[in-house]
Amino acid sequence: MKVVYAGQDNKKRKALIAECQDVIVLLYNNWDDYTYKTTFPTDCRLNGNGVEIGAVQILIEGQKTSFAYLDDLVARGWDGVFPIPSCNYVSVPAGLTFYEQIDGHLGLETAIKVAQLLHDASFLSKIEGNADALRLLNSEGFRKSLQRERGAIKAYLDGWKLFGRRDITIGNQTFTFCTWSGELASIDLRYDSPSPLPHDINVLIGPNGVGKSQLLLQIVKNWLQLGPEVQGSIGFAERPNLSQVVVVSYSPFELFPVDTSEDKERKDRDVYRYFGFRGRMKDLTDSKRGSERVTLSREFPKTNAARSLLGCLDDDQKFGAIKEWSKKLATMERVLKRAFEFDRAAVVVDSDVDVNTFFTTQDGLDEPHQQGELGDEDEHSANQRYVPIASDRVQQLKVAALSKHLRDRLGVVFLKDGKPIHLSSGQRLFSYIVINILGAIRRNSLLLIDEPELFLHPTLEIAFIRMLKAILASYGSKAVVATHSLVAVREIPRDCVHVFEQTEEGLRIKTPPFETFGGDVQRISSYVFGDKSLPKPYEDWIGEQLEECSAEQLISALGKDINEELIIQIRAMESGKW
């Protein structure tokens, strides 16, 4: 395995790609990190095939512009083959997939060899204890450039675990946030426990207005902060061992950032993804050039789901060699088939394009596409062409062509016996949530989900938790769910349940004194919402009846329209014991 610097020499790059089965070619980039220029895009071939591994940053001791130093070495006769001669340097990839891809295609020994050639900071400092590397790790250049982006931070924190075949997991996190009253409070998100109960989801529950969604928003803002080594009073107590944050919120009132496009100083834009009813939409200005503004629309869940389904296909094609990168389309099919019956998920494409445009091979063209009527409450039925996106045809589909001709406003179609099936609004939103999460998720992601029960009936609420646990387990990821759902709380261990309560002294976050996992919903409700102290409409009605007759007369009059619990309550209310 060779690592070679080509810079702006395109002829050299092409020659290396043509000659070498296994090679990483470092290219030129002028990206500036606080006066440091250390980034090198890559062109990678593994087993003769192009593989996407991402960029790598290299810091050379005493230098601020790494490519200029390497260009000077080349001018003085260096052939560009790593290691770099006669200097001290360290590197960090833009993301851990850099080494995961090499490991998946060529094995761990080759990944370690590349780490040695590139003087990977995590390998040298945490496995070899290299003194020169440790000195550079304390430099301004390492902090400001190589550890500026979240993906690079995680690659440094966890790279040594990959090289040592250790589990890479998300541990417990403490986050300090500002309450509605302006005071600081802390919450302990518990993901690591000696208990055998599942600790992959932490739930925030409590009445409206206590700040659950506000906490999620502060986690996002802290996560998106550039230069994370500069900590304020709000934030994680330690560097969070996360690869990205994914937000799912279908409340029309939330104000999460919809993307990172306005942050012009950021490179790692995919460390944050948002899915909801808000997004960017083209808006013609007076100049007629058009601009994108953030707006609210029912279209976004559908368009996001269609694009995310193609994202699942793209990830399955790109990262199929990574052992820990679970197959996304297969996961999607397995999870959704528990909620409703279908054969395949499909996207709608332009009907006037040659269908062969979407396929890499003639194999299996007995079912390349289908045409038929497609419609929902937002669209009149029309003759459409839809292409199934399925786990058994990952290598037969062309992502670029499908993306180019995708009619994303029609969302994702589910086929049964060759025909689109009708889904309820709750089922459709549930499918969009599943597909969007899978399209975005990477290993060690943190999912922030705000009030998922808004559009889901109780059965789908249970299916949602089951789905979430399956996806989190597949990708070594965790979730924080802000909810009012008692059904959700019943699926979570007590030490992962955070009850928000507003008191005269301010916000109080407490843990139930009893086990909630598999617990009684009424008991959970009484503890969380204090509903025993709040009269119910049916209790008001019983009280009015008892003013006119006795308990026994009321019970007799109700006849069969009464249950045992209500009989006990009527008698207790008459005697003043309720």
Both 447 and 522 in one domain: the answer is yes
Both 542 and 504 in one domain: the answer is no
Quick one: pLDDT at residue 178? 93
Quick one: pLDDT at residue 253? 83
Both 541 and 435 in one domain: the answer is no
CA distance 563 to 507: 39
Both 76 and 116 in one domain: the answer is yes
Total domains, the chain: 3
Q: Is the dihedral of CA 278, 279, 281, 286 positive or negative?
A: positive
Residues in the chain, total: 578
The answer to whether residue 360 sits within a structural domain is: no
Both 541 and 478 in one domain: the answer is no
Both 460 and 486 in one domain: the answer is yes
CA distance 154 to 121: 12
Backbone angles phi, psi at 282, to 5 degrees: -65, 135
The answer to whether residue 322 sits within a structural domain is: no
Three-state secondary-structure class, residue 311: helix
**CB-based contact 414:421 (threshold 8 Å):** yes
Range of the domain at 541: 537-574
Both 14 and 159 in one domain: the answer is yes
The answer to whether residue 31 sits within a structural domain is: yes
The tokens describing 112, both together, are 């370690």
CA distance 208 to 509: 14
Quick one: pLDDT at residue 162? 95
| Residue at a domain's end among 493, 512, 529 | 529
The sheet with strand 235-236 has its strands ordered as 184-189, 173-178, 235-236
The answer to whether residue 418 sits within a structural domain is: no
Both 256 and 149 in one domain: the answer is no
CA distance 403 to 304: 12
pTM score of the predicted model: 0.85
Both 118 and 242 in one domain: the answer is no
Both 244 and 262 in one domain: the answer is yes
Both 24 and 147 in one domain: the answer is yes
Quick one: pLDDT at residue 381? 46
Radius of gyration for the chain, computed over Cα atoms and rounded to the nearest angstrom: 28
Both 500 and 543 in one domain: the answer is no
Kindly list the distances between the CA atom of residue 256 and the CA atoms of 214, 253, 265, 269, 273, in Å, as whole numbers in the listed order.
10, 10, 19, 15, 10
Report the candidate in 501, 511, 451 with the shortest Cα–Cα distance to residue 481. 451
The answer to whether residue 108 sits within a structural domain is: yes
- Residue 194, preceding peptide bond in cis (omega within 30° of 0): no
The answer to whether residue 109 sits within a structural domain is: yes
Low-confidence spans in the chain with pLDDT less than 50 = 286, 288, 364-365, 368, 374, 377, 380-381
